Amino acid sequence: MAIGIFDSGIGGLTVFKSVAEHFPELDIYYLGDTARVPYGNKSKDTIIRYSIECSQFLINRFEIEALIIACNSASSYSVEILKNKLNIPVIGVIYPGSKHALEVSKNGKIGVIGTYATINSNSYKKTLIELSEREIQIFQKPCPLFVPIIEEGMIDSEITRLIVKEYLQEIIDEGIDTLILGCTHYPVLKNVIKEIYPDIQIVDSSQVIIDDIKKLDINFKENGIRHIFITDESSSFHKLKEILVGDVKTEKIELSELCKL
């Protein structure tokens, strides 16, 4: 038995890395749907269908004990559906990130950045309001250029700093003290954001999700297997994979293996 993680592509490797570091004996299987990335500009129905297909692949092939949706767009639309459909625990990234943001924010002004799908779904906004026991203000901002600059490896560059300022200054000026990175690519830019805005509390779901995983009733002492699957070859995937997780075995599967499920 093992744990499965899926994402629309590369970004979920930040979650994979965090889980692997915290649970060294846990068997972890990751699926990056690189043939159909990004999910962030797809319709709700399409994102749900893709999420079901990715989940079924991991369940059928590895009999996973729990599933992590390491994709904010998929988490926005698919968590409850997968919880009802699958016979295993399902953890998305929206709830842990929202909960932690409320814990660390002192002034109740919280910023959320993500893809268009995540922002348009208002999933973070709804969750923050549901969980909060005080009056809060939420400022959301889509940041579509973050993903391509990360996948190009332009992490520590002046262009990246300019784009970060262009996107974030508007919500910084609203007085936020906490920023939720609502896309699993974005932790790669965490140090750059912190450098520009040192006083902001940054919420990284790849880190805060660990507490939710610890609560799972699964076997954490296995063989420490690490295996990554992708649905299409991508130079950007391999580039970021080397940066984040190094020499982990990667295998390409045919997209038809998902679509026929």
What CATH number labels 3-92+208-259? 3.40.50.1860
- Selected catalytic residue, list 54, 71, 143, 259: 71
Across the range 109-115, mean pLDDT stands at 95
Residues facing residue 140 across a β-bridge: 112
Distance CA 79, CA 121 (A): 13
What residue ranges in 143-261 does DSSP mark as E strands?
Answer: 178-182, 201-204, 226-230, 249-252
- Asked: is 94-205 a CATH 3.10.580.10 domain? The reply is no
CA distances from 62 to 1, 5, 66, 86 (A): 7, 12, 11, 14
- pLDDT score at 260: 67
* 183 flagged as catalytic: yes
- Selected catalytic residue, list 54, 143, 183, 259: 183
Distance CA 166, CA 142 (A): 12
- pLDDT score at 234: 78
* 71 flagged as catalytic: yes
Indicate the range of 19-28, 83-92, 114-123, 232-241 predicted with least confidence: 232-241
Query: 138-150, pLDDT tens digit by residue?
Result: 999 999 999 889 8
Across the range 94-106, mean pLDDT stands at 97
- What is the amino acid identity at position 169? Q
Query: Mean pLDDT, the chain, as a whole number?
Result: 93
Indicate the range of 55-59, 180-184, 199-203, 241-245 predicted with least confidence: 241-245
- Given a cut of 90, whether residue 39 has pLDDT beyond it is no
- pLDDT score at 247: 85
Q: How many CA atoms lie within 13 A of 150 on its CB side?
A: 27
Q: What percent of the chain has pLDDT over 70?
A: 99
Q: What ranges do the domains of the chain cover?
A: 3-92+208-259, 94-205
- pLDDT score at 196: 97
Query: 150-199, pLDDT tens digit by residue?
Result: 888 888 899 999 999 999 999 999 999 999 999 988 999 999 999 999 99
The helix (run of H) or strand (run of E) holding residue 32 is: strand 28-32
Indicate the range of 37-41, 55-59, 200-204 predicted with least confidence: 37-41
pTM of the model: 0.90
Topology match between the domains 3-92+208-259 and 94-205: yes
Sign of the Cα torsion 200, 204, 205, 210 reads: negative
90 compared with 218, residue with greater pLDDT: 90
- pLDDT score at 261: 54
Cβ–Cβ < 8 Å for 115, 41: yes
Distance CA 52, CA 149 (A): 29
